């Protein structure tokens, strides 16, 4: 079925090729128009030249367009996939990590939670708000699929800015658990229905069911998971912090130590500082490897030596945007384990406009969250702390309020004082002045 899919941030060598890989494996989307959009004209042109070459290899499977004009790109769009970043991602990430710690914060990582996650949100939410206002104006019935972090805060800002827009957020953090569970339980993944609930990078496995029998596998999982996963302990994924939280709270946090620890005051107690630095470095190195690979393909293209099969001939990225689009346009109902959507009655004892991560069903009728009801009080209490921070953070950005911005930092468990919050805010505002809103 033909549709129009717009990739915002398509010049990124980490985002663009992975999404396009999935698109080129799709037969359902043959004949669709794929619009590549980025504000970096030079990088966009590189990706465009590669993709039109790939399209020829795939017998002109798609209509490929590219433009730096966002409004032109969005006209008539059915689906928008967004994955922008602002500025030099890794330089800014290191500042998000180092500056709060300089003033005494015990935060780890600083990507989506803690004071670093707040500063990340301050930078990236304003341009995304501008994007969704254009979407609302030009293609209000489109589905907006967001990959940009900090996921929950970005999606909350989108819903408060354009409440009628259909928006979901996608993150692959459930992937590690999906990889291990079939081995752990000796079950086929196709016969397992995972039921994770919580916030992005801060979620818990609440249920696990075998289909079609309906057998509850949670008792078995809870019994064998600690011993099984400790055999595969990974300092970036399931390690000391994950096992401690599982023991204390009774439900397995599936997001990995590096992400989980961002939201917890005791995160640093069970993680090592160097591990967090190494994670940032590894993420940057992985990105550079992808960039070099793409540029090698581009060099071969310019030299007339491009691979006959191209670079997008087989495989899938593991991301879920294209499968969700396919399920919607073909009306083949599917179940997705972990998608970020507004709460709206899914979890009763969390704020209803909070962006939660939960299972969904997808069909031509749209996207529906799978209702859970009340989370255990201890889990809900953890999540409500972060929910309040996200609420205040988004309000600070949308109203450009300095007082709310500092309050957001001050109430964070990894700050805890107005003096520290003001020190962090003042230095970050000066250091990142080209990207931080003009808070008044």
**1-440 CATH fold:** LDH C-terminal domain-like (3.90.1820)
| CA–CA dist 313, 295 (Å, integer) | 17
The answer to whether 309 and 60 have CB atoms below 8 angstroms apart is no
Closest alpha carbon to 357 in 202, 207, 177, 150 = 202
In the structure encoding, which two tokens stand for residue 283, read together?
A: 């993420």
- Contact (Cβ atoms closer than 8 angstroms) between residue 374 and residue 348: yes
| Tokens read off for 382 | 């953890």
Task: Write the DSSP symbol of residue 239.
Answer: S
58 counts as catalytic: no
Specify the pLDDT at position 365. Answer: 87
Q: What are phi and psi of 102, to 5 degrees?
A: -60, -35
Token pair in block for residue 339 = 């998608």
Residue 200 phi/psi, 5-degree rounding, is -60, 135
Query: d(Cα 346, Cα 177) in Å, to the nearest integer?
Result: 22
Return the bridge partners of 197, or none: 204
> Catalytic pick from 172, 201, 259, 297?
172
Ramachandran angles phi, psi of 67, nearest 5°: -165, 150
Region of 421 please: left (phi>0), alpha (psi -120 to 50) or beta.
alpha
The domains of the chain are located at 1-440
- pLDDT in tens for each of the 440 residues of the chain? 789 999 999 998 777 778 999 999 999 999 999 999 999 999 999 999 999 999 999 999 999 999 999 999 999 999 999 999 999 999 999 999 999 999 999 999 999 999 999 999 999 999 999 999 999 999 999 999 999 999 999 999 999 999 999 999 999 999 999 999 999 999 999 999 999 999 999 999 999 999 999 999 999 999 999 999 999 999 999 999 999 999 999 999 999 999 999 999 999 999 999 999 999 999 999 999 999 999 999 999 999 999 999 999 888 888 999 999 999 999 889 999 999 999 999 999 999 989 999 999 998 889 999 999 999 999 999 999 999 999 999 999 999 999 999 999 999 999 999 999 999 999 999 999 999 999 99
């Amino acid at each position: 079925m033909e549709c129009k899919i717009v990739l915002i941030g398509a010049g990124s060598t980490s985002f663009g090729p992975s999404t396009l890989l999935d698109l080129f494996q799709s037969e359902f989307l043959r004949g669709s128009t794929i619009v590549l959009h980025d504000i970096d004209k030079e990088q966009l042109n590189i990706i465009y030249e590669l993709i039109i070459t790939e399209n020829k290899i795939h017998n002109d499977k798609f209509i490929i367009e590219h433009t730096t004009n966002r409004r032109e790109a969005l006209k008539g769009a059915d689906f928008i996939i967004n994955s922008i970043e602002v500025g030099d991602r890794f330089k800014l990430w290191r500042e998000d990590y180092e500056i709060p710690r300089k003033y005494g914060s015990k935060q780890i990582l600083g990507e989506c939670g803690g004071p670093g996650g707040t500063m990340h949100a301050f930078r990236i939410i304003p341009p995304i708000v501008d994007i969704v206002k254009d979407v609302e104006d030009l293609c209000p019935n489109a589905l907006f699929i967001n990959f940009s972090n900090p996921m929950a805060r970005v999606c909350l800002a989108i819903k408060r800015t354009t409440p009628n827009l259909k928006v979901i957020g996608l993150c692959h953090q459930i992937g590690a658990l999906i990889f291990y569970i079939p081995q752990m339980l000796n079950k086929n993944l196709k016969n397992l229905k995972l039921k994770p609930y919580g916030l992005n990078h801060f979620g818990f496995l609440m249920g696990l069911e075998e289909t079609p029998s309906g057998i509850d596998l949670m008792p078995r999982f809870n019994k064998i998971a600690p011993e099984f996963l400790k055999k595969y302990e990974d300092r970036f994924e399931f390690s000391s912090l994950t096992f401690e939280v599982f023991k204390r709270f009774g439900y397995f946090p599936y997001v990995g130590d590096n992400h989980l620890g961002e939201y917890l005051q005791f995160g640093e107690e069970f993680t090592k500082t160097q591990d967090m630095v190494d994670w940032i470095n590894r993420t940057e190195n992985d990105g550079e490897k992808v960039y070099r690979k793409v540029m090698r393909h581009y060099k071969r293209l310019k030299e007339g030596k491009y691979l006959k099969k191209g670079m997008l001939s087989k495989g899938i990225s593991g991301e879920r945007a294209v499968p969700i689009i396919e399920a919607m346009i073909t009306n083949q109902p599917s179940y997705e384990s972990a998608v970020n959507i507004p709460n709206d009655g899914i979890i009763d004892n969390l704020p209803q406009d909070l962006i939660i991560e939960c299972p969904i069903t997808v069909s031509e009728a749209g996207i529906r969250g799978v209702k859970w009801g009340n989370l255990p009080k201890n889990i809900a209490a953890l999540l409500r702390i972060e929910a309040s921070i996200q609420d205040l953070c988004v309000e600070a950005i949308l109203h450009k309020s300095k007082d709310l911005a500092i309050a957001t930092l001050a109430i964070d468990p990894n700050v805890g004082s107005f003096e520290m919050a003001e020190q962090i805010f003042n230095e970050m505002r000066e250091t990142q002045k080209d990207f931080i809103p003009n808070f008044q």
